[in-house]
Structures are given as structure tokens and as C-alpha cells.
Structure 1
Amino acid sequence: MKISLHLLTSLTLTQLFITLIVFVHCVESTYYCSTAGGVDPCTLAETLYEPYARTGNCEYNGVYAPCDRYITPGWYKSDDLVLDNCPVLNSCGAVYPIWMNGTFPQVADGVVSRTLCKTGFGGCCVRQYDLQIKNCGTSYVYCLPALDSCPERLCFGTNGTCEYPTTVAITTTVAITTTAVVDSTVSLREYRNLKTRYVVAIVAVILLVISLSGFATLMSFCYIKKRRKDREISQSRVELATDETGVESNGSPPHLHFQPK
């Protein structure tokens, strides 16, 4: 009974954890990729964050060190298509390039879900991210997430110029980027706060389930112990009654044993 209870508890916790993780991912995607109210991502999309040196032929440049960790999750557009095949390490202007593992949708498909893969030392898909994509007829728009770490970067296009902004442009770009980061910090903070709230909710639910399962196990143990004790008391009473009446449990008089002299 204990084994069955522990097995049931383990299965329940595993299923609950998987369900909650899927729920959190769905909520995150809905939060930044929502098209509620008839909003069309084709008109909503902004120009891609740091569009330079994102093609597959561009190696990582440690001086500029571009990264998509601080990108504000939302809809973006690009002149180049997101890369749909596995790039090598140290390409797309990053050490760990990110590419789309899937096919491009048709116009009639509307907004569809795809998977982004991170190329790493362990293979072409050592980490996955959710991607929303829509075919706008003449171009595609993408709801992009903020990546986990640097230097990770999304790939767009296979061949292109790998030039970074000049020194003068860099100064201007830094100023603009600084402003953009300050402005996007609020959105990023909201994003992380939302994620934190759901993580806390997940932990609270898991702790509640563990507490309930522990309580159920304790009650089961106490019940089994009580039944065993009642059985022992009942057996003791039968033996005591037999000793007092001198009659065995089957109703026959006790056997007398004589020792020969």
C-alpha cells in the first residue's frame, strides 16, 4: 500500500509539474504575442533589434559583442528570413547562434508556433525557445523572446555584410541603445515579474501537494498501526478467555498429558 501511494504521489507531482511548465510557457507567449482585439502583427512589428551582422557568414566579434539577451520580447520584422537550418558555432555575429527549426507558414495560416534552437557544443539544438511567426504576404514578422545569456543571437539570412557601425555611428548607436535599454527595462522587468509570479505559484502548488501527500501517508500509516494493535488486543482477549475457561477455541476440553512414572 505504501509503494502504491508513493508511486501515485510521484506520478501526480510529475504530471502537475509538466502541466504547470507548459501553462507558464503559454502565458508568456500570450503575454507578448497576443493578437487580441484584432491587432495585426504585420502592422505592429518593429524593426529588428541590432540588425547588423546577423547572417550565417558573420563571425562573432568580441569587441562589439552583440547579444539578444536584452531584446524586449515582442513582434519584429527583418529584411532577411530567419535562418531555418542549423548554423555552425561562431556565426550570425554570436558564439551560439539561434535558428528556427521548422517551416515557414503560408498567408492563410495566420500566426503559427515554431521552435527556435540554439546551436551549442552539444549539437544543433541544445536549448529551445518558443517562436510565433506570421506570413504577411511580402515579408514575415516574428514574436521573439529574450534569450537566456550572451553571446546568443538570432540568425537572419545566410550571406550578407558583416560590417558593424563605424566609430562615429557607434557613439550615436550607444546613446540610442542606452535609451532603448532604459525604456525596455520596464517591459523586461514586467516580463520577469510575470514569470516570477507564476514560478512562485508553481512552487506553492507543489509544496501543497507534497504536504497533502505526506499527510495522507501519515494517516495511512496510523490506520495500519491501529488495525494491527486492535488485532493483537483481540487475539490476547481470546487467549485470556481460553485460559480462564479451560476450553480451547474449538470448544473441546483441554488435553491432559500424563508423564509415566
Structure 2
Amino acid sequence: MDSAGRHWKEEVPPEHAYKRRAGAAAPTAEQDKAAGGRNRRWVALDDNRYARASISLRLYRRTRRIRAYLRWSKDGETQERYVCEVAHDWRGANLAEAWRCAWEQGFLVEKPLPENSKASSVAVRANMQANRARDTGPELALRSLLHASGLRYRVDARPIPEIRRRADVVFPRERVAVFVDGCFWHGCPKHSRPAKKNADFWSTKIKGNVERDTETNELLLSAGWTVLRVWEHDDPSTAAENVAIAVAKARLGLVGL
């Protein structure tokens, strides 16, 4: 129901209920968030194989309803399965409901851990894989928004060439360095959880990463750089706005020299 008391069965739903908005998070990041993590998106194929699925929202104008479909690829061909109808005001809520319904109907599975995995769970392993390299979903989402706003930058570069520390996004002239930190690897205070398997190993590893992050911040700050750290769970639009503000301030400082 909307503020005027009209139901979607009586008129077409608003576009923001099913369409991706301009500047939104990258599709992969959006699907991961709605599903509750990339490890929650697996469909079982034959021969012990798995495929990562996505939810597609479609508006049927004749009936004025939004339907959710589960989509994945098998042997190079797209597969699809109807999940449910959704009726929330916003796309994110509709995606989340569709993923929940897909799980309830048994369309999705948890991919087993490899025998040699050091992770304590499927969720922990997914976080490790998602955040151990450049070009992660959160990084791509942030960079896309920065680029769309007209900002240009270097990617995965050393702010100070002589120091072996790399930032995810670097503005060399403005001396602004941006790090997009994964919750698992960098000890996020909101989402980091003690590992149950190889607990001592992972505790030492994460502690070392946090100490290195602090040292990196201090090195860059002492060299006159502005340092911004963005958690992977942060809203990319807010993060991009904060980066743009920092770059604008740095440019004003350069003009004043």
C-alpha cells in the first residue's frame, strides 16, 4: 500500500521496487548483500558441481505484479526458476525476500568445504575468498561511483613508492589514499567473529593485519597523506561521498599554496 491507499494490483509498482538505480552497488555486491553472503547463493548441479545464482526481478504490467526468478548458468546455458511474487517498496527488500523464499523452497544449498580448507565454516571461507585480492565487489562499487562523479585515480597503488604499502584507490596529486577493508581479514568490530578451526592461527593472522593497518595509517599521515578506510559492509554511496569530500578539501589546500 502507498500513502494514498492504492495497492499495486491497481496500478504499476514504482521503478525503485524492481530496477537497479544509477550509482547503486555493483550487481554482485548487491546480490551478496541481499542473499546474506556470497556463500548463500549456490545451486547444486549434477556431478557434485555448483553454480552461483542471482535473483532477477521482473515487472508484469498486465497484472501489475513483480515476480522473482532464480537464475544460474549450467554448461554455458542460462537456467531459470520462478521463486515468488514480491511487493516491497524497494528493490533491496524484494531481493532479500526472494532469496529467503528460495532457501525455504530448497532451491539453494551450502557448498561443502574442501578437505584441505583452513576455514572454520563455508561463510568464513567465502569471506576469505572475497577479500584476499584486488577488484572485490565493494572496491568495484566504490570505484564506479567515484568515476561516475568525475574523479580519476590510481588503483591498487603505493601512495609512497618507497614504502611497500598499497592502497585500493589513490589520488596522487591530492595525496589521498583509500583502503577498502574486508571484514574478515581486517578484524571488523561489527562482523569479525573468532574462528573455531585453527583459532590460534587466525587470531594471530588477523591481529597482525590490524597492527599493519595502524602502522600504514601512521606512515601515510606522517608523510602528509589523508587516509580513509572503508569497510566492505559500508554503504558505497556514503563512502564515495566521503572520499569526494576529502579530495575536494585536498584540492583547496593545493590552490592555497
- Normalization by structure 2: what TM-score? 0.23
- Normalization by structure 1: what TM-score? 0.23
Higher relative contact order (CA 8 A, sep 6+): 1
**Structure whose residues are more often helix by fraction:** 1
Largest Rg, 1 or 2? 1
